Amino acid sequence: MRITKDYDERRNEILDTAEKLFRTKGYEKCTINEILKEVGIAKGTFYYYFKSKEEVLDAIVSRYTDVIIRRANEVLSNADIDPIEKLMRTFMTMKVSDNVEDEMLDELHKTGNALFHVKSLNAIVTAMAPILVKIIEEGIEKKVWSCRYPLEYMQIFLAASLTLTDDGIFELDADSQMSIMAALISILEKVLNVPKDLFMNLFIQHMM
Amino acid sequence: MRITKDYDERRNEILDTAEKLFRTKGYEKCTINEILKEVGIAKGTFYYYFKSKEEVLDAIVSRYTDVIIRRANEVLSNADIDPIEKLMRTFMTMKVSDNVEDEMLDELHKTGNALFHVKSLNAIVTAMAPILVKIIEEGIEKKVWSCRYPLEYMQIFLAASLTLTDDGIFELDADSQMSIMAALISILEKVLNVPKDLFMNLFIQHMM
DNA sequence: TGTTAGTATACCGACGGTCGGTCGATAATG
DNA sequence: CATTATCGACCGACCGTCGGTATACTAACA
């Protein structure tokens, strides 16, 4: 009758299901009862693992941002690649879907989910900006580029790209999003004082 | 016993009260019953004017964005001032508190209000970007500056500044916010290909 | 021109139903 | 037998509905 499971297993079960439902219905619209029904547990069990609905959202946001941060740090600590390549790869780890998870993340934004957007935006900018700054500083030392406001530029870059490419906030078509990406890259070239189209050409290469 | 009022008067009464409460308690935390109690009306009356709580929020967002858009258009259509001055003034109309309303707007962001942020961000970027583009184009014609991606740069500028200076999303101190403003202005100088610190000096003058 | 019947408009508040969250009981585990 | 995990009835707060009512406006008639 009563099914007991390992703590982590059950917890992830709830997390996976909640994420799937948040993605399809949106956080606000999705009820806890729906999650319970889908997982096949009782109310009490849910609240044994999470103390509120919002805590589940936080956990989901963390799962994603942790992955992004980990990847970025791996790139950062790799001594074999030059700063330019590091910068490109770091941005790539945020956008390119090398697995299914990233597409799911896009879905989560679509459902008009303000809270999710704000939470992940904050988490990513706060954690990513310092990593990017280190790459910028590495490039300054190696005379690859120069930069007046490393931290602020990175914050601006991250905030703008995460906000403008979020389908839950702006419903821009693919062309418009590509134009914005091009503009962002050109800004990056300008603030780092590198030759025009240097990053853009590399970006196109990376996309192939 | 029963107090009847003019339609617009009652509607604004509800709007004013709701805004005050959203500002002090936050949109999510504020209940409709609290609004009713404060205004001194019944449930039915509220729903006679608005079909949902969210519709009230939309109306409040519109009230603010409409003012900003109107001011921006006034600046745009003024033939007596040059593009540089137009650009500065337009940005000023968004940030400088020449009346109390703007401070109230800041409060609304503080309460950790994701939905309000997303709604106003969308409204402002969508409406302001095209106006700014016209100013940019005017400057291009008059050979004041040049610009590769007018629309996209303005979208990026607006999205970044509105997001990063929002106390409800990032809790940055005054110094950090000023640094970001400085970085944003320097980006503006770079994307418009004007001399370094041109806008920055004008900005400082405007602040005096 | 004063009266009244009729209509549109603004307003009321009890009620329904949903949903997030609590809690004491209880089954499995070791 | 103690700890851990699970259960589900229950609670209270809240959003939104609905049938009905008071007030203001209009027009027709005396």
Residue pLDDT, tens place only, B63-118 = 989 999 999 999 999 999 999 999 999 998 876 445 555 666 676 666 668 999 99
Spatial CA neighbour of A194 closest among A73, A94, A87: A87
Whole-angstrom distance, CA of residue B193 vs CA of residue B8:
48
Whole-angstrom distance, CA of residue B171 vs CA of residue B166:
8
- Regarding predicted confidence, which is higher, A190 or A5? A190
CA of B50 to C1' of D19 (A): 19
- A118 contact residues in B (CB cutoff 8 A): 114, 117-118, 168-169
* Model pTM score: 0.92
Q: pLDDT tens, B169-202? A: 998 999 999 999 999 999 999 999 999 999 999 9
Q: pLDDT tens, B8-54? A: 999 999 999 999 999 888 899 999 999 999 999 999 999 999 999 99
What pLDDT score does A3 carry? 86
What pLDDT score does B96 carry? 46
Nucleotide nearest to B54 (CA to C1'): D15
Q: pLDDT tens, B143-162? A: 999 999 999 999 999 999 99
Q: pLDDT tens, B53-64? A: 999 999 999 998
Asked if strand D contacts A43 at the CB level, meaning under 7 A, the answer is: yes
Asked if strand D contacts B20 at the CB level, meaning under 7 A, the answer is: no
Whole-angstrom distance, CA of residue A173 vs CA of residue B156:
16
CA of B3 to C1' of C7 (A): 20
b (16+ CB within 10 A) / e for B59-73 = bbbeebbeebbebbe
- A152 contact residues in B (CB cutoff 8 A): 179-180, 182-184
Q: What percent of chain A stands above pLDDT 70?
A: 91
Whether the CB-CB separation of B9 and B18 falls below 8 Å is answered with no
Size of interface A-B (CB pairs under 8 A): 101
Strand D bases near protein CB (under 7 Å) are 4-10, 13-20, 22-24
Strand C bases near protein CB (under 7 Å) are 9-15, 18-25, 27-29
CA of A5 to C1' of D2 (A): 19
DSSP A72-138: HHHHHT-TTS-HHHHHHHHHHHHHS-SSHHHHHHHHHHHTT-HHHHHHHHHHHHHHHHHHHHHHHHH
Whether the CB-CB separation of B35 and B55 falls below 8 Å is answered with no
Band (A207; pLDDT cuts 50, 70, 90): confident
What pLDDT score does A93 carry? 84
Nucleotide nearest to B5 (CA to C1'): C10
What pLDDT score does B94 carry? 79
Asked if strand D contacts A42 at the CB level, meaning under 7 A, the answer is: yes
Q: What percent of chain B stands above pLDDT 90?
A: 77
Whole-angstrom distance, CA of residue B119 vs CA of residue A114:
9
> Phi and psi at residue B187, in whole multiples of 5°?
-65, -45
CA of B191 to C1' of D25 (A): 61
Q: Which residues contact B98 (CB under 8 A, 6 or more apart)?
A: none
Structure tokens at B5: 């009022």
CA distance B33 to chain A (A): 20
Asked if strand C contacts A1 at the CB level, meaning under 7 A, the answer is: yes
> Over 80: is that where the pLDDT of A103 sits?
no
Q: pLDDT tens, B120-142? A: 999 999 999 999 999 999 999 99
State whether A180 and B155 contact (CB < 8 Å).
Answer: yes
CA of B55 to C1' of C9 (A): 22
Asked if strand C contacts A54 at the CB level, meaning under 7 A, the answer is: yes
Asked if strand C contacts A32 at the CB level, meaning under 7 A, the answer is: yes
